[in-house]
Amino acid sequence: MHALLWIAVIASVACVAVALTDLEQWKEFKKTYGKNYTDPAVDAFHFGVFQKSLRAVEENHAKYEAGEVTYSIRIIALSDIPKDQWPVLPPLPIGNKTRHDDISEDVRKGLERMEHERAQHGV
């Protein structure tokens, strides 16, 4: 029973240490990205979202180091905003040609231009 008490105390201290580290990172994050939440309740809400982002980054980095994923993620300016509230970016413009278009006309014109340049330079 005595050992269980010490395990609980150590686990509690570890949780507090993580929370302090999170709080320090939160302060640095707000300073870096110019965030200022004057209402303590709003600040606490965004801090909670930020903590979830930190855990996701830590989990991703562990998987990356173990070779389970091939990409890594990091904290960004939106890391304290729920993902469903992120701004929606417009779709990327798509050109008229797709990968399946016939490029033989482009190749033919390129070869003709090369032949013309060779003829001009006597090559």
Residue 38 within a domain:
yes
pLDDT of residue 18: 56
Question: Which residue ranges of the chain lie beneath pLDDT 70?
Answer: 1-20, 95-101, 123
Question: Residue 21's domain is classified under what CATH number?
Answer: 1.10.287.2250
Residue 108 within a domain:
no
Residue 55 within a domain:
yes
* Domain with 31 in it: 2-87
Average pLDDT, the chain: 84
Q: How many domains does the chain have?
A: 1
Residue 105 within a domain:
no
pLDDT of residue 97: 57
pLDDT of residue 108: 87
Q: 3-state SS of the chain?
A: CHHHHHHHHHHHHHHHHHHHHHHHHHHHHHHHHCCCCCCHHHHHHHHHHHHHHHHHHHHHHHHHHCCCCCCCCCCCCCCCCCHHHCCCCCCCCCCCCCCCCCCHHHHHHHHHHHHHHHHHHCC
Tens of pLDDT, residues 34-54: 999 999 999 999 999 999 999
Residue 97 within a domain:
no
pLDDT of residue 8: 46
